[in-house]
Chains A and B, each alone.
Chain A
Amino acid sequence: MKPLLVTPAPHMKSKDTNARVMLDVLIALLPATVAALFFFGFNAVIIILTGLISAWIFELIALKLKKAPVTRADLRSASITGLLLALIIAPSVPWWMVVVGTFIAIFIAKHAFGGLGHNIFNPALIGRAFMVASWPILMTAWLKPFDAIATATPLATVNPAPATYLQLFLGNVGGSMGETSALALLIGAAYLFYRQAIEWRLPFAYLGTVVVISLIFRVDPVFQLLSGGLMIGAFFMATDPVTTPVTKPGRLIFGIGCGIITMVLRMGAGYPEGVCYSILLMNATTPLLDRYARGRIFGYK
Chain B
Amino acid sequence: MSKTFPGGIHPSEHKKRSKKEQIRKAADPKIAVIPLCQHIGTPAEPLVNVGDIVKIGQPLGDSERYVSAAVHASIGGKIIAIEPRLTPFGAKVLSVVIENNGDQDVHPSVRPYPNFKDLSKTDIRKIIRGAGIVGLGGAAFPTRVKLQPPPDKVIKTIIINGAECEPYLTCDYRLLIEQPKKVILGLKAIMKPTDALEGIIAIEDNKPEAITAIQKAIDEEVSHHNLRVAVLKTKYPQGAEKQLIKAITKREVPSGGLPADVHCIVNNVGTAVAIAKALTTGMPLIERIVTVTGGSISEPSNLLVRIGTPFSELVEQCGGFLEEPTKIIMGGPLMGISVPSIDVPVIKATSGILVPSKKELDDLEPEPCIRCAKCVDSCPQYLLPNLLGDASENDRFDLSKSYGALDCIECGVCSYVCPAKRNLVQLIKLSKNELLRKK
Contacts and interface: CB of A to CB of B under 8 A. Distances in A.
A5 B425 CA distance: 19
Nearest to B355: A4
Contacts of A1: 324-325, 342
B325 A4 contact: yes
Residue from A9, A18, A21, A118 having most chain B Cβ neighbours under 10 A:
A9
Nearest to A72: B367
Contacts of A144: none
A297 B383 contact: yes
B328 A4 contact: yes
A250 B368 CA distance: 22
B338 to A, nearest CB: 5
A10 B407 contact: no
Interface stretch (A125-133, A159-167, A210-218, A240-248): A240-248
B407 to A, nearest CB: 5
Given A10-B335, A12-B167, A17-B419, A300 B255 contact: yes
Contacts of B410: 9
A16 B417 contact: yes
B326 A242 contact: no
Given A12-B11, A299-B381, 5 more contacts: A11-B327, A18-B420, A297-B383, A298-B382, A300-B255
Nearest to A295: B382
Across the A-B interface, the 4 shortest Cβ-Cβ residue pairs: A10-B412, A12-B333, A117-B368, A299-B255
B118 interface: no
B436 interface: no
Contacts of A2: 324, 326
Interface of B: 9, 11, 90, 167, 242, 246, 252-257, 324-329, 333-342, 354, 356, 360-364, 367-374, 376-377, 380-384, 386-387, 403-404, 407, 410, 412, 415-421, 423, 425-426, 429
15 contacts: A5-B338, A8-B425, A10-B415, A11-B333, A11-B356, A13-B362, A17-B364, A21-B372, A117-B420, A196-B374, A294-B384, A296-B382, A297-B255, A298-B242, A299-B381
Contacts of B328: 4
B421 A17 contact: yes
Given A241-B370, A242-B370, A299 B327 contact: no
B119 to A, nearest CB: 35
Contacts of B412: 9-10
A151 B242 CA distance: 61
Q: From DSSP, what is the main secondary structure of chain B's interface residues?
A: loop
B334 A118 contact: no
A3 B88 CA distance: 14
Nearest to B417: A14
A118 B368 contact: yes
Tell which of B9, B327, B374 has the most Cβ of chain A within 10 Å: B374
What DSSP secondary structure best describes chain A's contact surface?
Answer: loop
A247 B404 CA distance: 14
Interface in A108-161: 115-118
A2 B360 CA distance: 18
Interface string A1-43: 1101111111111101110110000000000000000000000
Interface of A: 1-2, 4-14, 16-18, 20-21, 71, 73, 115-118, 196-197, 199, 241-242, 244, 246-248, 290, 294-300
A12 B368 contact: no
A199 B377 contact: yes
A117 B369 contact: yes
A14 B9 contact: yes
A7 B327 contact: yes
A115 to B, nearest CB: 7
Contacts of B423: 8
Nearest to A11: B333
Nearest to A16: B419
Contacts of B362: 13
- Pick from A7, A13, A117 the residue with the most CB of B within 10 Å: A13
A67 B416 CA distance: 30
A299 B370 contact: no
Nearest to A248: B376
Contacts of A248: 376-377
B386 A298 contact: no
A202 to B, nearest CB: 10
Contact of B334 (A5, A7, A12, A246): A12
Given A199-B373, A298-B242, A299-B253, A6 B367 contact: no
B416 A13 contact: yes
Contact of A13 (B372, B421, B429): B421
A9 B337 CA distance: 6
A3 B401 CA distance: 37
Contacts of B383: 297
Given A73-B367, A300-B255, A4 B334 contact: no
Given A5-B327, A242-B370, A247-B376, A13 B340 contact: no
A252 to B, nearest CB: 13
Contacts of B11: 12, 14
A71 B326 CA distance: 27
Contacts of A10: 333-335, 412, 415-416, 425
B336 to A, nearest CB: 6
Given A16-B419, A296-B382, A299-B253, A115 B337 contact: no
A197 B419 CA distance: 11
A299 B252 contact: yes
Nearest to A69: B365
A14 B8 CA distance: 13
User: Of A241, A242, A298, which is in contact with the most chain B CB atoms at under 10 Å from its CB?
Assistant: A298
Contacts of A116: 367-368, 370
Contacts of B420: 17-18, 117
B326 A5 contact: yes
A4 B381 contact: no
